Amino acid sequence: MNLKTCLCAALGLGLAGAAAAETLPPKPARAVVCAACHGQNGVSTLPIYPNLAGQQESYIEHALHAYKNGERKNPIMAAQAAGLSDQDIKELAAWFAAQKPAVYVPDVNAPLTAQK
């Protein structure tokens, strides 16, 4: 999936999901950018990008502040967090935390040393 497809899908889902659940926080416009790496709803498609869906809200908030102030070092996320206001960070954290997490099904027969 290329970036364009991904962003369009993210926008479509945002609109379709608007009526779905009144109690969920609204999707922040800034979350569209995050979708390129973290997936449309916070479940990323590549292992190098962490899933954000269902993560604790305070953890996401803390992580974004840490990237922004340089306490946590990652060039990609530093660039992403640089332009976020405290309000943006609150909205993004609330929204990603409210998304359905990826289902992880462990393979009980896999050798303990196996890595994906």
| Binding residues for ligand HEC (CB under 6 A) | 30, 33-34, 36-38, 48-50, 52, 60, 63-64, 74, 76-77, 80, 92
What count of other Cβ atoms lies within 10 Å of the Cβ of residue 63? 21
Please give the Cα distance from 99 to 116 (Å, whole number): 24
Please give the Cα distance from 17 to 26 (Å, whole number): 9
Q: Give every CB contact of residue 39 below 8 A, 6+ residues apart in sequence.
A: 45, 49, 51, 53
Cβ distance to ligand HEC smaller for residue 52 or 53: 52
Cβ distance to ligand HEC smaller for residue 53 or 60: 60
Cβ at position 22, least distance to ligand HEC in Å: 23
Cβ distance to ligand HEC smaller for residue 5 or 109: 5
